Every structure is written in C-alpha cells, then in structure tokens.
Structure 1
C-alpha cells in the first residue's frame, strides 16, 4: 500500500461513507461538528451520487459537491472521492435498456435497487468514463482529496447477448482457436463440440448440469470484465492526479472477484468486513479477512466498511454488545489496517438500509454507539504514530486461490457439503487459536520466506503451482496439505491417478483408490482424533502413516501421511485435533506463538514494535507479561498483570531504557 500522502503519515484514517445528499444542507455543519468530536479525519463521498451529479444524460450538478469538498477541507477532514458508477440512475436503464444485466434465464434485472449494470455494455462504459473524466477534472486539484474510490463492491453478473460477445472475445484471447477450446472444455462429452465461435454463449439455464470448463472460464471472464471497468476509471483519474492513490473495496471472500489479480492493479487494497456479532468465532473471521487483505496488499491495508452496530441483511440482525466494535476495529489495526472506516457515518432515515447502523445512529449524539465511536477515534489517534506503515510478520502461509474455489463449486461433485470457504476458515482457526501469525498466498507465489505452508484444500492446481510446492519442500520448506488437493489441472481435467503424480510422490502416496465424503452427522475415528466432512482410501508408497483410520470401511488406511517435510491430511480433523497438529508441526520448524500460555479467547498480535492483546472471551482476564512495557491506549506504564475486560484491548510497547 502506498502512503496516502504526507498529510496522513502517522495517522490511522478514521471515518466512513458520508451520504449528505440524503439530508438537508443545514445538517452538514452538525455532521462536521460531530465528526471532529469523534476524531474522524476521513470520509468517502459520492459512492451512490450518480443521479444527483447527472440528473439527466449529459447534465452535471457539482454545486452541492463543491460545497461539501470545501466544507471537509475547512474542517481538516480528508476525502476519499468515489466515482459513483456502481449504481446508474433510472434514466440510463429507461433510455438504454441494453445497459441492464440479464440473469441466466434471460430475465432483465431492472433499476430500482443498485448495481444494475452490465459490465460488458459499451454504453454503460461510455457514460461511466464521461462522468469519471469530469469528476477527476473538477476535483483532481482539490486540497481535500486524499484517495480515489472507484465504483463500490463490484459484484454484478450478466448473461446477456453483449456479455456473450465479450465472452467470446475473451475466449479467443485465452484459447486461440475453437479446437483448443473444445479440448480445454472436454466438449467430446455429451456432444458439446463447438464448430464456430458464434455458437458459444455464457452458461445460461440448461436442461441438466452445465459444462464445468465453460462455467469455470465464465467465472474467470466475469472477474476480468469487471476489472476492465475498474482499470478504465482508474486510468482516467490517474491521468488527472498521478500522485493520488486509487482503490476499490473488495467484498470479503466473494467468489466473483479474483482479489489476487485485482490487488495488483490497485495502489491501496481495501475491503468490507461484516462479522456476525452472534458468531462466537466472529473475531477469527475478522482476523482471517485481515490476514488475507494484508497479504493481497503486501503491507498495510484499508478497512473500508464495517458496521458500528447491526446490519440489515441477515435473517436476524443483532447489535454489537458494548466493546465489540472497538475490539474488532483494533484487531484490524493489529493485523495491518492503516484505516478504520464504516458504512456509514449517519444512519439513514429512508431507503433500503435505514436499519443498517451508522457511526451516528438514530439514537443520536448521546447514543451508546456514537460514544463508542468517540472512544475508538481517540484510540486510533494514540496508535497512529506507532503503527502506520508498519508490518505484521508471519512465518506461516495459508494458500488460497480463486480458480480452485471456482472449480470446486461445480455441479456433480463428490459432496455438496464441501464448502471451500469453511475449510479455509477451519484451518485458519486452528492457527488463530494457537496465536500463530499467518499470511495468505497464492499457490504460485514465492514461498521461500515462510517456514511453514499450509494448504487447507485446493482441488485445482496448475502445473506451475504444483512445481512451486514441490520446489518449496525440496528447498527446505515444510508443507501441510489438506484433502482433495491437486486433483484437477487448469481446465478442470482430473489428473492421472486422482492426484497429480508429483504431489503423490512428494507425500509418499502410491494410489488414491477412492474418495469417501461423509454425511452431515457422520465422522470417522482416527488414531487420537475424529475426522469430519471427508475421508480418503489411500495406499502409501514411501510415506509414513502418522495416524490411521480405525473401524469402518477405511480401517487401517492412513489418515495423516508424512514424507519428510511434506504432510498430507486426508480428512478434516475436529478443531482441537487440527489445532494440535498444526501447532506441533509449527513448533518443529521453529514457528512459535506470539505469546505462550494465553487463556482461550485471548489473541496476541505483534505489529511493528507493538504487542496487541485482545480479549474475545466472555470474561475479564489478567495476563502476566514479562518485561518492561508502556500501555499505549492509556499512556501508562504497565505495573503488574495486564487487565483485560470483556472485549478489552491493551496495546503494549516495550520500554528498553
């Protein structure tokens, strides 16, 4: 992540989406007063303002935005200025219905909500580029501008005829010829062979299961088509403001956007994270997404959106208990965030999100939520000089890949219960509960800097990725790999022997006889633990059975295999067993917890020179900490054990003199 600019060094950006067009102008000055009281130093403007700026085709109404930009500058509040292209105005769909997306049944997705655009539509792209051009020309030199925020949560899908034409162009570039496409998609099956490019359409509603290769390529294409929209707007604003960083907010673990590829096109990587307050592992989910975003950014990142209280889109929308908002906000800072922002500043009184919380809720200035926001603002002011720009070091990498995830979602697979994201979360949880710092990486990334690489589950692996993993182990690294990994190549073609031969040799596995997925209430007994979700009938060659299945059809077959520094786990061990296994392997390669002996629910993270202690447990705890420390949030020396209330946080800086 690049520095936002010199004026923000030493400050954690704090604020959120500000949508003042929903309110009369007399409210704006009150908003500024309360922002300053809360320590807000950054707001995002214009995310959903297209209809206000361009009320009819070609018209421009910038007067209100001029006044807001000036107001923010006078208040010392920086602006992340958004291109409002996520939600075209109703006039676009009415006058240009070809810009509206169609679903896989061919039905039009109408205006009346948001994000009703086809990413392949030339008309949509022309209007978006024209508006972005005028926005950048007008505000590129404004002193309040800190960053460009392109669009918002790119998440549209479309199966229309324009998308079909775009898809065919994309396929030509990827495969070169129809014959090569037929080979990649395996169209000999079910008489699906194509003779001409014009015969190819997106994977629309079909009589039965769709071609997995076609679906996989369409997912790749959709991510790339949206990326084209982003880069087109990015290039416009950079032409006007070459020194101003650009971002677009990812949605966490959203299947439609290859965030590894997207991050390479951004100056600043940002994400929206909404853990469920009722989830007892909400803190682990927040930590995992922080680790993932930090890894995509290769350094500090931006928490662009979170909720100050309840959201409005779950079946039951629970508020955050006192302290939880602060805990999760500071946890994000501990894991590399240089910005803590919310959707949104002032809770809406009308519209679809009027029950989605804001930093300033319907309860107003005296409400508990706003009082907690003020405390978080003060915390971030104290932390800023110590954390901004600093890094979180990790000796462990967790491998994650969108191509594999997309292929893993195919129809006709061995088990519909196998949820890729839940498997990744289970493995990350095992590391998190052991206070083992982890980064994320793509399987073809440079891995030599990590002592331990874990692969929860990667069904699809290309040749370069497999060679990378084999080379990592041969170079002295330790690899722990989960079940059903390395099964298919880039085109979702099953590898010889049910697992790539290079991986079978690496793990000392001779034959994969059968995969044995497990039902919801089913588990398998293994030496010392129980396995869930999955099991496999393996025959070893040179590998050692560290644990075997006991009883049932797989009795005596290996469950956990080791061949030197390569481990293979053919089931999903229950949480305690997986935690113990990974902790033991990590200890064996010299990767130790951030702090030893912490009670359950207490997280320790080092960022730069600071040690963050975060209590996710239900009760207060006292933690003995060796050495001489200063507590940054209270600006006091540490004298005795560190007391953490429920949802409490302490940030320690070691005093060496």
Structure 2
C-alpha cells in the first residue's frame, strides 16, 4: 500500500511548470512548500513536448522538473502524458481521431480525442509510457504513477467497429448465440455475418444517449467501450510495472461516471484515485456517496483525492467561489470517508485557454497574500499536525448499498417505463436516508463479500446477473436483511426479460409477484399508508415515479397504496426467508418514509447512529489498529453544538478534551481520537 511509504496524508496537486518560464519555478517551489505541500502531479499533458515527431523524444524539461521536485523534497505523481495526443500525430495518422455519436470524424483538438482502438494510438502511448518508466524508474522523487487523465468518451469509427466484432465473437462465440441473446428476430434484425454488425449510434440503432431500438447491442457497445479504454490503460500499466514493480499505479476516476465500469477498472488499479468537483448546490450526501463509492471499488481500501479546486471551477454555468472554510471542510469530508490524500487542480493558475479561471493555490497575482493561499496553508499545517494517525484507517460499515454499472446502463437504455427514472438518483435516496442519520454505508460491487454486512440494499436492481440471485438468497437465508425496490429482477445480463413474473429470480426470496408497473407523471403522487405502526413510521407518506402493482406470495404487507385503482394493494412488503428477511419497496417514497424505514431496520439489527442526527451535520468514523477517530463536519454557516453521547476522547487539532458536548464552528471539522474502551 502507498500508505506504508508515507508519514502523513499527502497534500499537493497538479503542477504544470512546462507552461511557464523557468524564472517562476523557484518561486512556485517556495510557495508550494510554504503551503505545506509534499506532492505534485506532473507531466499530465506533455506528450507534444516529450515527442515532437515520430522518432524524437526530448525529456530535458521533464528532467529539470523532476530534479526540481527532488531538490525541494516534493514527491512526484508522474503522469504518462497520454491523455492528449500531439497535433502532428493527428495529421500524419488521422485514424487516431475519434468518430462521434453522429458519425462525424473529429479533427485535432480537445482532450479525449484518441480512438481507444487505434493501433497507432496504442503503439505510441504504450511506447511513451515505457520510455518514461525506464527513464525515471529509480528517481528518488517518484512515488506514484498516473496513467493518462480522466479517461472518458466514446468512439464509433471503423477501428472500433472491427474491434467490437472481435469483442462480440469472444463473448458469444457464435452468431446464433448473439442473435438469441439480442433477440434479433424483433424487427427482422437477424445477423448472418459478423461484418453486418455496426456500432449503435445516430446512423444505426440509437437516436440519443438514452434511446435505442435494440438494448442488447447498445448495452454491449457500452461495455465494449469501457473495456476498450481499460485495455489502453492496461497496456500502459504493464509497461510501468515492468520497470517499477513496487511503484503504485493509478488513473484519476470521476465518481459515478456513467461510461466506464469503475468496479472493473479498479481490479487493475493499485490504488483508486478520483477527482471531486461538486457544484455549490450538490447535496453534501451525494458527495459523501461518491467518496464511499470510490472506497468501495476496492472493498474498503482508502483512496486518493487526486483533484479538487481550492476555490472556483471554470466549466459550470455559474462558478461560485468556495466560501471561507469550505475548501478545508470538503477536504476533510474526503478524509472522513477514507481519502489518504488531499490534492488540487491546480497549483498555479493558467494564463490562457479554458482553465485560466479555474482556481489554484497560486493565483494570477502571483504571491501568497490571498485568502485561498492562507486557507490552503492552514490546511497544510493541520495535515502535518495529524501526521500518520489517519493513514490507512478504515470504515466499519454494516450496511451496504449495491451499485452496478451494467444495471445503470440497462435501466437508462430501457424503452420505458419512465424517462424520469435515473439510477444514481434512486441509489442516492437510500444513501441519503442513512447519511441523515449518521449511519455508515459502504457502496458495494456485486463481487464483494456480502458476509461483511448485516443489511444489503439494492435500489432498482433491474438487471440480475448470473449467480447474483443465489448469492443474495444465501446472504438472506443466513440471517441478513435484504431490501430492494420497484423495477427490480426484470432482465438478465443481456437485457432479456426473465419470464414467469417479476421480480424474476428474486421472486421466491421476496415472496411477491408484480403484475403491472404504473409510471406516474412528474406532478403525480400516490400515498404509502402504513398498515400498523412500524417504529416511528405511522400514517401516510407520498410516493411517485413508478408504482409496482404486486401480489404477495407469503410476504407480510407492511404498507398499502392510498390512491388510484390500485388503492389497498401492497406498497411495502417484508418476507421472512431462512434466518433473514427480504423487503420490497414498490414505489419511490419521500425522504421521511425512507429515513423512518431504514432507521427502524437498522435499529432492529443493532446498527445505531454514531451521533444523533442534526441538520447540516455529518459524522463518520475511521478505525486503525483498534483506535477510532470520529469526524464531525458542520456544513452549516452557523456554529453548532453537538451532543457527543458515548463518544469521548481528544480533539486532534486543538488538543482539547471532547466529552459531553462540543461546539463546531461554521463550515468546519473536528476530529476526535476516541478514548479506547477497556
């Protein structure tokens, strides 16, 4: 693990000295050190500088940069520069350029403009990574490898079409199997030759990112696109590992980024890193969920916060400043959810092009006498004070929320039942209900060990992959509590409906069957009426989006619908299954209902809030070698008094005892090192 090489949480960010005259480099180093920073990500977009033509490689400037970092005691997160190919390469080898969704061949420009299935791109990018690895493998500053940058996008060129056919042959073996799994007799789409298959875009099967005539081919192309970019990453990874087997390799992910299956990617990353850019109005719980998702990609391992802005962003419609304290607060939120670094884009603000108004440690004024610099330096001092106490500390959640990219893609390619159905939004509703009660959550992949959890929640589990139903049944039969929702158990891994009644393979465990699914218009609501009091839940609650019309087959009816022709039909059920129980929520309820339901289920399992819930306050716990640390984050703009209950210890940043109650300043964080219980 990277943490074994560290004495404190990493602090730094993206640094692009090649964009500046050397006369400012020494001043940059002074201010970077003054801010308490110890790592710089370099060489991210330097391919054109490193390779001016087919045969020439020039590492002189990068040599100077690496030497400068070494002289100043700064670790290097060394990137491979393959996120943007040089202009000469596009001119000489136009096949390297992508073809977009509408079938247009791109020209040189932008960033993510390299076809992932271009032999030219793969050859040159792999060769560059190998040369960089060979040159800097023994450099004292090298701490971490950074492959490419924010992989993303799609390509629909002839290279990709040919590679897609190869991918399909590998997956299905025969055209007969492919035709069966894609249900190609619909609309007479039967294929008799592999060459007849073309990528699904505006010229063929799709008319938008969410609308397709054939879900099977669109779903597979999305998988193929993710795999294609992953293959590019793996080629560079292999070259780096060939020369530096002990240096960790990563690439910066982007939270719930739809085009790439990050659970699959994480299998090939030594440490997960990601770039966190919430809007000013992004719910704090959504950002927390993204941190937990990144932690969950490698089953609880700490991750790196590779990028965030120290002040404002540049690409949103309204790029508000981070108010005083928010930068540190959001940095500590990442640490609270298992980040072992706090890093920024960027360390010096660009003077031209589209990122010149993106925030930086060193602003255009060029000195340290700015609010942003002072706040960054203060955070640097605090991270130095914390030392290695929090490095590699883990979360100990007993509630897991299943998240699956294939399921996400399939739901939003579906030709119904509602355009308003958004997978991440529904997942977030359940996460938020627990977040508001300070109950720890892990975001869990389908391959995870479910035995680590007492409760598993699978919102909108539309796609049930082979073996998943049996795995969930075993979890529940052995005493676990499983909860899923409307529009679950509908299709298999190729988006073919599982016959015999919804929710398909989950039907026996849930003890229900769904007859119809009603899609409500945005302004329509129904009611969930509790039959008997359930903990704090009583009376009626609003629900909307979709309503499953279901019948029980052994399950207990917990709540019923209150309106429409299906008033009185089950809306929430619970089925005893083995030693456990399986819940089904047949619509999308209001937050108060979900908080009450999940709070009751957690209490029944002995899973309690870390601290009593309070609006705008967030609490997490990380544990290392038996020592626990409680983070209390105040997202409010006023001071808050928090009742600590059983939590007691020492506040790490102030050194003051924490017992009984504690005041948390506006937009600030306290970290309590808990007194070990005898």
The TM-score bracket by the shorter chain reads: over 0.9
Contact kept, 8 Å, 1:246 with 1:266, in 2: the verdict is yes
Q: How is 1:46-125 mapped onto 2 (pairs within 5 angstroms)?
A: 46-125=43-122
Structure 1: any 5+ residue segments left out of the alignment?
none
- Give 3-state SS (helix, strand or coil) of 1:151's partner: coil
Q: Say if 1:102 and 1:498 are closer, same or farther in 2 by CA, change over 3 A.
A: farther
- Give 3-state SS (helix, strand or coil) of 2:546's partner: coil
1:218, distance to aligned residue in structure 2 (A): 0.4
1:384, distance to aligned residue in structure 2 (A): 3.1
Match in the other structure for 1:611: 630
Contact kept, 8 Å, 1:99 with 1:117, in 2: the verdict is yes
1:46, distance to aligned residue in structure 2 (A): 0.6
CA distance, structure 2, for counterparts of residue 581 and residue 640 of structure 1: 29
Q: Once the two structures are superposed, what CA deviation does each residue of 1:37-83 show, in whole Å capped at 9, x if it has no partner?
A: 11111110011111111122222221111111111111111001000
Q: How is 1:258-657 mapped onto 2 (pairs within 5 angstroms)?
A: 258-279=261-282, 281=283, 283-298=284-299, 299-363=301-365, 364-509=367-512, 511-527=513-529, 528-564=540-576, 565-595=581-611, 597-608=612-623, 609-626=628-645, 628-638=648-658, 641-655=661-675
Q: Once the two structures are superposed, what CA deviation does each residue of 1:311-367 show, in whole Å capped at 9, x if it has no partner?
A: 111121111111111111101111111011111111111111111112223354222
CA distance, structure 1, for counterparts of residue 67 and residue 298 of structure 2: 31
- Give 3-state SS (helix, strand or coil) of 2:104's partner: coil
1:278, distance to aligned residue in structure 2 (A): 2.8
CA distance, structure 2, for counterparts of residue 464 and residue 640 of structure 1: 49
CA distance, structure 2, for counterparts of residue 641 and residue 562 of structure 1: 39
CA distance, structure 2, for counterparts of residue 506 and residue 639 of structure 1: 45
Q: Once the two structures are superposed, what CA deviation does each residue of 1:273-319 show, in whole Å capped at 9, x if it has no partner?
A: 1111233x1x2122101111111133111011111122111121111
- Give 3-state SS (helix, strand or coil) of 2:565's partner: coil
1:544, distance to aligned residue in structure 2 (A): 1.3
Moved more, 21-30 or 393-402: 21-30
CA distance, structure 2, for counterparts of residue 607 and residue 550 of structure 1: 43
CA distance, structure 2, for counterparts of residue 417 and residue 348 of structure 1: 39
Contact kept, 8 Å, 1:12 with 1:339, in 2: the verdict is yes
1:411, distance to aligned residue in structure 2 (A): 4.9
From 197, 202, 206, give the equivalent of 2:199.
202
CA distance, structure 2, for counterparts of residue 514 and residue 245 of structure 1: 51
Contact kept, 8 Å, 1:4 with 1:146, in 2: the verdict is no
Contact kept, 8 Å, 1:444 with 1:464, in 2: the verdict is no
Match in the other structure for 2:535: none
- Give 3-state SS (helix, strand or coil) of 1:496's partner: coil
Moved more, 444-453 or 564-573: 444-453
Moved more, 52-61 or 201-210: 201-210
CA RMSD of aligned residues (A): 1.5
Match in the other structure for 2:215: 212
1:445, distance to aligned residue in structure 2 (A): 2.6
CA distance, structure 2, for counterparts of residue 140 and residue 45 of structure 1: 15
- Give 3-state SS (helix, strand or coil) of 1:448's partner: helix
- Give 3-state SS (helix, strand or coil) of 1:539's partner: strand
Q: Once the two structures are superposed, what CA deviation does each residue of 1:234-276 show, in whole Å capped at 9, x if it has no partner?
A: 0001111111000011111111111111101111111111111
Contact kept, 8 Å, 1:304 with 1:341, in 2: the verdict is yes
CA distance, structure 2, for counterparts of residue 258 and residue 352 of structure 1: 28
TM-score, with structure 2 as normaliser: 0.94
Q: Once the two structures are superposed, what CA deviation does each residue of 1:86-115 show, in whole Å capped at 9, x if it has no partner?
A: 100111111110000001332112222112
Q: How many residues align?
A: 650
Contact kept, 8 Å, 2:466 with 2:492, in 1: the verdict is yes
1:4, distance to aligned residue in structure 2 (A): 5.1
Moved more, 103-112 or 248-257: 103-112
CA distance, structure 1, for counterparts of residue 234 and residue 69 of structure 2: 28
Q: Once the two structures are superposed, what CA deviation does each residue of 1:107-149 show, in whole Å capped at 9, x if it has no partner?
A: 1122221121000000111111111111111111100000100
CA distance, structure 1, for counterparts of residue 55 and residue 666 of structure 2: 55
